Amino acid sequence: MKRPPAIDPTRHALFLDFDGTLVDLVDDPTEVALAGDRIERLAEMTERLSGALAIVSGRRIADLDRFLAPLAFAAAGVHGLERRREPGGETEFLMQPEALDPIRDALAPMLEENRRLQLEDKGTALVLHYRTAPDLAEAAKSVMRHAVEGRDDLVVMEGDNIVEVHPAGMDKGKALADFMAAAPFGGRIPVYLGDDTTDEFALKIVTEMRGIAIKVGGKESVAEYRLADVVDVHHWLDVCGI
C-alpha cells in the first residue's frame, strides 16, 4: 500500500468524502457521529488551508452541517447537485425535488412490500439502502433501473450497499473540477480522499490534474495512494503537514 505524501497548506486544496472516509459506515445513516476533537481538527485544517477544504458527499449539505456542527466548510452535497463554494457561504441547488416525483411513486410498492429496504430521500436524489437486507440487493437495483426507464435526464448509480438515482451529468468529479476553477481552491493542487465507487469520478479528475488521489480501503481504484480505513484517515490527517 503506497501511503500519501505530506501536503502543503499554502499549495494544496483538500477534498474529503464523508461516509466511509471521515466516519464509519453504519446500518442507519442518521446515526453516524464524529468526535468533537475530530471536528476541531477539521476546523484547524480549514483555517490553515485558507478555506480550501471541502466535504464532497452523497449526503445533503444540511445533513453534513448537522453532523459537523459547529464547523464552517465548503461542500458539494448530493454528488454535486448542492454546492457551497466557501465556508459560511450560500448553498446552490442545481435541480428541484419534484423532478423525482414519478420515481418516488414507482418505488412505493416495492418499499411497502419490503420494509427492510430503506429509502433515503435527499430531495434531488433517491437512495435505496439494503445494508440490513443484502438478500434484496438485486431486487433493489432492478426496481430502481425500471423506475427510470425512458428518463434520459436521470442516472442510476450503485455504491456500498446502496443504489441511487439522481440527475445525469453530475458526479463528484465534476463538482470538484468546478470548485477548482475559483477561489479559495483555484490555483492549488487538489487532494481527494474517498472510499466508494462514487468517489472514483473525483479520484480520476484529481489524477488528471496531477493532484493526490487517495483511496480509502481495499477496493479497486484509479488512485495512486491508499489509506486502510477511517482510523487511518484520521491518523494521516493528523500527520499530513497541515
What are 15-26's pLDDT values in tens digits? 999 999 999 988
144 within 8 A of 163, measured Cβ to Cβ: yes
Which domains can be identified in the chain, with CATH numbers?
Answer: 12-94+170-239 (3.40.50.1000), 97-167 (3.30.70.1020)
Question: Is it the case that residue 72 has pLDDT exceeding 90?
Answer: yes
What are 211-222's pLDDT values in tens digits? 999 999 999 999
Question: Is it the case that residue 169 has pLDDT exceeding 80?
Answer: no
pLDDT at 202: 97
Q: Cα–Cα distance between 161 and 170 in angstroms, integer?
A: 21
Among the listed residues 46, 117, 118, 122, the one whose alpha carbon sits nearest the alpha carbon of residue 79: 122
Residue 17 a catalytic site member:
yes
Distances (CA, A) of 7 to 10, 156, 168, 225: 9, 35, 33, 13
3-state helix/strand/coil string of the chain: CCCCCCCCCCCEEEEECCECCCECCCCCHHHCCCCHHHHHHHHHHHHHCCCCEEEECCCCHHHHHHHHCCCCCEEEEHHHCEEECCCCCCCEECCCHHHHHHHHHHHHHHHHHCCCCEEEECCCCEEEECCCCHHHHHHHHHHHHHHCCCCCCEEEEEECCEEEEEECCCCHHHHHHHHCCCCCCCCCEEEEEECCHHHHHHHHHHHHCCCEEEEECCCCCCCCEEECCHHHHHHHHHHCCC
Question: Is it the case that residue 109 has pLDDT exceeding 90?
Answer: yes
Better-scored residue on pLDDT, 40 or 30? 40
pLDDT at 35: 94
At residue 93 the predicted structure's pLDDT band, cuts being 50, 70 and 90, is confident
Kindly state the average pLDDT of the residues 176-191: 97
pLDDT at 11: 98
Per-range mean pLDDT, top range of 21-35, 112-126, 151-165, 221-235: 221-235
At residue 240 the predicted structure's pLDDT band, cuts being 50, 70 and 90, is very high
Question: Is it the case that residue 88 has pLDDT exceeding 90?
Answer: no
Kindly state the average pLDDT of the residues 121-150: 91
Out of 8, 17, 28, 101, which one is annotated catalytic?
17
At residue 96 the predicted structure's pLDDT band, cuts being 50, 70 and 90, is confident
Give the mean pLDDT of the chain: 93
pLDDT at 31: 86
Q: Is the pTM for the entire model greater than 0.85?
A: no
